[in-house]
Amino acid sequence: MKIRKYDKESVACAEYIRHIANGRAIEVEKEVSLLRDGKEITFGTFDAYCDGNLFDLKTGGVKRNYVPQMAVYVAALCQRNSIDKIEVHLFYSAFNSVDKFTLTRGEAERIAFAVIDSVTDPTRSPHTSEYCGWCARKTECTALNTMALTVADKMDLVSKYNIAEISDPVVMGQYREVADAVEHWAKAVKSKCADFDEIQGYKKTSRRGKKSISDITGALIHSGLPSEQFIKACTVSYPKLKKQFAEHMKVSEEEADKELAARISSVTKEGHPVDYWRKEK
């Protein structure tokens, strides 16, 4: 089985984390809450943490200022574990390098609280960015609304730009960022439409849901088909098969994956790899 590029990046980061941990317990992808005056004001999910060391995998080809993001994790972990400081390890897979810095609890809280105060400031004007897709305020964001309406109103102008002639990756990145922001906004709008019975210019319609088989054995019996023909209409989910195999053999899913893959390798086909663009962290 071929390892995808992203898997290789994860493996390299995992090896670095294991080296630093040196046998100590490692927490992976856990949610932590940042408190202020005893109340949760935000939360986040860190990549990995081990005994005063915070690890974060960055897969993009650009090094940015990640201190504000890390400050939230550091402050939350310091509060949770009652410690004074944490060493941050930013693993850049594109450069195969690690940037390390230390944040004290006081420094992290000051940075995190300042960011949150800025976000919640009613006098602050919002602006679009690559993080629009994760924002809970997509449907009420004036910046996204203005941008989307401007694009809709100026479609004749936008159509004059020949996308095929763009050769500058920086320009293409700017176009893609705008496209992603509008796409996230559009999904939020479509989701909000479910709250309405009538929308001007649109008619609500419905279609029957797809039929599915809830009892395969029963379907085989009642269909009257020979099992050879019935099986031709069936597909097997490898993740679900692996889970059943693990439960039956009383082993972990990782062990089940290795054993099952070996047993059914002659009848297993791997799909074609899919290329896609993932936003740099």
Domains of the chain: 5-120 (3.90.320.10), 132-195 (no CATH), 216-264 (no CATH)
Q: Coil, helix or strand for 145?
A: helix
**Span 125-130, mean pLDDT?**
60
Say if residue 119's pLDDT is above 90.
no
Query: Whose CA is closest to 12, among 120, 114, 93, 71?
Result: 93
Q: Coil, helix or strand for 91?
A: strand
**Span 51-61, mean pLDDT?**
90
* Cα 116 to Cα 39: distance, rounded to the nearest angstrom: 14
27-36 β-sheet, strand order: 27-36, 39-50, 53-58, 85-92, 97-104
* Cα 16 to Cα 19: distance, rounded to the nearest angstrom: 5
- Say which residue, 24 or 269, is predicted with more confidence: 24
Exposed/middle/buried for 89, CB within 10 Å: 0-12, 13-18, 19+?
Answer: buried
Amino acid symbol at 13: C
pLDDT band (50, 70, 90) for residue 224: very high
- The region of weakest confidence among 14-23, 39-48, 116-125, 258-267 is 116-125
* Cα 91 to Cα 54: distance, rounded to the nearest angstrom: 11
Residue 212: predicted pLDDT: 87
* Cα 133 to Cα 157: distance, rounded to the nearest angstrom: 26
**Span 2-18, mean pLDDT?**
70
pLDDT band (50, 70, 90) for residue 110: very high
* Cα 30 to Cα 45: distance, rounded to the nearest angstrom: 5
* Cα 204 to Cα 181: distance, rounded to the nearest angstrom: 26
* Cα 36 to Cα 113: distance, rounded to the nearest angstrom: 8
Tell me the CA distances in angstroms from 124 to 129, 169, 185, 250, one per residue in order. 15, 32, 20, 56
Q: Coil, helix or strand for 235?
A: coil
**Span 14-32, mean pLDDT?**
93
Kindly report the pTM of this predicted structure.
Answer: 0.50
Say if residue 177's pLDDT is above 50.
yes
* Cα 235 to Cα 237: distance, rounded to the nearest angstrom: 7
Percent of the chain with pLDDT over 70: 80
- Say which residue, 173 or 160, is predicted with more confidence: 173
Say if residue 124's pLDDT is above 80.
no
- Highest mean predicted confidence (pLDDT) among 140-149, 186-195, 226-235: 226-235
* Cα 211 to Cα 229: distance, rounded to the nearest angstrom: 19
Q: Coil, helix or strand for 272?
A: coil
**Span 119-132, mean pLDDT?**
63
Q: What's the chain's average pLDDT?
A: 83
Residue 2: predicted pLDDT: 41
- CA 192 remoteness from chain centre: 22
Residue 260: predicted pLDDT: 93
Residue 127: predicted pLDDT: 62
Say if residue 77's pLDDT is above 90.
yes
- Say which residue, 24 or 3, is predicted with more confidence: 24
Strand ranges (DSSP E) for the chain?
27-36, 39-50, 53-58, 85-92, 97-104
Q: Coil, helix or strand for 17?
A: helix
Q: How many CB atoms lie within 10 A of CB 147?
A: 18
The angle at the Cα of 158, spanning 154 to 162, to the nearest 5 degrees, equals 165
